[in-house]
Amino acid sequence: DTEVTQTPKHLVMGMTNKKSLKCEQHMGHRAMYWYKQKAKKPPELMFVYSYEKLSINESVPSRFSPECPNSSLLNLHLHALQPEDSALYLCASSQDSGNTIYFGEGSWLTVV
Amino acid sequence: AQSVAQPEDQVNVAEGNPLTVKCTYSVSGNPYLFWYVQYPNRGLQFLLKYITGDNLVKGSYGFEAEFNKSQTSFHLKKPSALVSDSALYFCAVRDMRVTTSGTYKYIFGTGTRLKVLA
Over the stretch B87-100, which tens digit does the pLDDT of each residue have? 999 999 998 777 77
- Chain A interface disruption, residue of B103, B108, B112, B113, most A CBs within 10 A: B103
- Per the DSSP assignment, residues forming a β-bridge with B33 are B50, B93
Whether the CB of A45 is below 8 Å from some CB of chain B: the reply is yes
Summary mean pLDDT of chain A: 94
Residue B21 is predicted with a pLDDT of: 98
Residue B16 is predicted with a pLDDT of: 98
Which residue in B114, B116, B111, B113 sits closest to B35, CA to CA?
B111
Which residue in B105, B78, B101 sits closest to B93, CA to CA?
B105
Residue A101: list chain B partners with CB under 8 A.
34, 46, 106
Residue B56 has pLDDT above 70, yes or no: yes
- Chain B interface disruption, residue of A101, A107, A110, most B CBs within 10 A: A101
Chain A residue with minimal CA distance to B96? A98
Whether the CB of A90 is below 8 Å from some CB of chain B: the reply is yes
Rg of chain A over all Cα atoms, to the nearest angstrom: 13
Residue from the list B41, B44, B45 with its beta carbon closest to the beta carbon of A43 = B44
Q: Is the peptide bond before A61 cis (omega within 30 degrees of 0)?
A: no
Whether the CB of A43 is below 8 Å from some CB of chain B: the reply is yes
- Read off φ and ψ for residue B51, nearest 5 degrees: -120, -50
Read off the pLDDT of residues A68-106 as tens digits, 9 standing for 90 and up. Answer: 999 999 999 999 999 999 999 999 999 987 889 999 999
Residue A6: list chain B partners with CB under 8 A.
43
